[in-house]
Amino acid sequence: MLPDIENLLKLQEADKEIRRLQEEIAELPKRVAAIEQTLAGTKVQLDKAQAAAKADEAARRKYETAITDLRGKISKYRDQSLEVKTNDQYKALLHEIQFAEQEIAATEDKILEIMVNADAREKEVKSAQAELKAETAEIEKEKEQARQRTAEDEKLLGEWKAKRDQLRASIDSDLLRHYERVLKLRGTGISEVADHKCMACQVMLRPQTYNEVRTGQHTVVCDSCQRILYFNPANEVVEPKIVVKRPRRHHPKIDASQAWYFRENYDDAGEVYVCLTNSQGQASRRVYEIHTGRMIGDILIREGDYRHAFPEDITGAIRLNGDWSEEELDAWGTEAPMVVLDALQADLEAARYEMSTRTAKTQAHAPVPSEQAAG
């Protein structure tokens, strides 16, 4: 990795940390302000409760005064009643006294109501006072914590800023300018490349660009988002390639005097090996069942070479390696030995594998008949 890239990554980390610290420092007074607002709410509640208690007290005094006045009136009416001359006058005074007494009873009820309420009022005031006290203690604690946290953050911020300045000084100035321009615009100025993509904008890179980033000989920017690209080998996705090593198959000679074929559907016998041999202007054919090696039918002899004598056995069959002498074939009698069957089986597998890889390679084109299949 280029030293400039390494420093840019460190710079990015420093920028991120500086931003986080600045945000945290800005956030702390907001938290204190939120608690103070709750505190103000509790204060309002307390004020209300105290005002209500005061109003009740004033009302009670007013009622008591009213009662005193009414009692004064009653005693005055009683004095007057001793001096009245007529029955009507007497009745009128008595009526006044009754009226004042009723009023005293009603006012006494009101005082009683206030006294009953006074207990509830007192409880309200006391709980608001306790709440205020607790909240005040809490806010003091919070404020102290915020103060400490801010002091720590400020110290770290100073350290990170010094680190950032040092890093900035060590980076090529043009590259730094580019980094900061993209950072301002997009929030980040550098992006990792993985899986042939710019991880920030997810755009696929051209193979040449990808290789330039990967080899890390000079700095490369993303065509799409303009971020400076870097490659981290530790994050490289290595796809495990399972390669089955097979020895290259030896191909049978087209003009060999003996040829072995594998046929899938031979009459009722199913899978068979067919052995065709040219000898002195004649062709002979032997057919063996592939698992038991048992010979099916008799040796068939026709005029000419086997390609012309037994075309039906060659078409659609798989050509295999195998070369045993006429004497050996005769010596097997009606049963091919196990070692021969194993050799043919191994070659059949190799031939099939070869065909499957060839098919995979030519899949895009028209299927090409294999040499083995065509014979």
Residues in contact with Zn ion by CB under 5 A are 198, 200-201, 222, 224-225
CB of residue 227 to Zn ion, shortest distance in Å: 5
3-state secondary structure of 220: strand
Residues contacting residue 3 through CB under 8 Å, at least 6 positions apart: 170
CB of 221 to Zn ion, least distance (A): 8
Contact 233, 226 (CB under 8 A): no
CB 199, min distance to Zn ion, A:
8
> Minimum CB separation from Zn ion for residue 347, in Å?
54
Is beta strand 228-231 parallel, antiparallel or unpaired with respect to 220-221? antiparallel
- Closest approach of Zn ion to the CB of residue 166, in Å: 28
Rounded CA-CA distance 259/318 in Å is: 11
Beta-bridge partner residues of 96: none
CA atoms of 135 and 142, how far apart (whole Å): 10
Please state the closest distance from residue 193 (CB atom) to Zn ion, in A. Answer: 9
Number of CB atoms found within 10 A of residue 275's CB: 25
Sheet harboring 197-198: ordered strands across?
A: 197-198, 190-194, 228-231, 220-221
- 127 versus 188: smaller Cβ distance to Zn ion: 188
**Looking up tokens 């986080």, which residue turns up?**
20
CB atoms within 10 A of CB 336: 22
Phi, psi of 261 (to 5 degrees): -130, 150
The dihedral built from the CA positions of residue 360, 362, 365 and 370, taken in this order, carries a sign that is: negative
> 53 or 201: whose CB is closer to Zn ion?
201
In the complex with Zn ion, the residue whose CB is nearer, 128 or 205, is: 205
Nearer to Zn ion, 195 or 326 (CB): 195
DSSP letter string, 134-181:
HHHHHHHHHHHHHHHHHHHHHHHHHHHHHHHHHHHHHS-HHHHHHHHH
Return the axis-axis angle of helices 87-170 and 3-81, rounded to nearest 10°.
170
Q: How far is the CB of 218 from Zn ion (least distance, A)?
A: 17
User: Min. distance of Cβ 169 from Zn ion in angstroms?
Assistant: 27
For residues 249 and 241, the answer to whether their CB atoms sit within 8 Å is no
How far apart CA 311 and CA 274 sit, in angstroms, is 12
Q: Nearest to residue 128, comparing CAs of 203, 40, 211?
A: 40
Q: Which residue, 109 or 195, has its beta carbon nearer to Zn ion?
A: 195
The nearer residue to Zn ion, 228 or 317, going by C-beta atoms, is 228
Measured from the CB atom, the residue of 169 and 203 that comes closer to Zn ion is: 203
Nearer to Zn ion, 86 or 208 (CB): 208
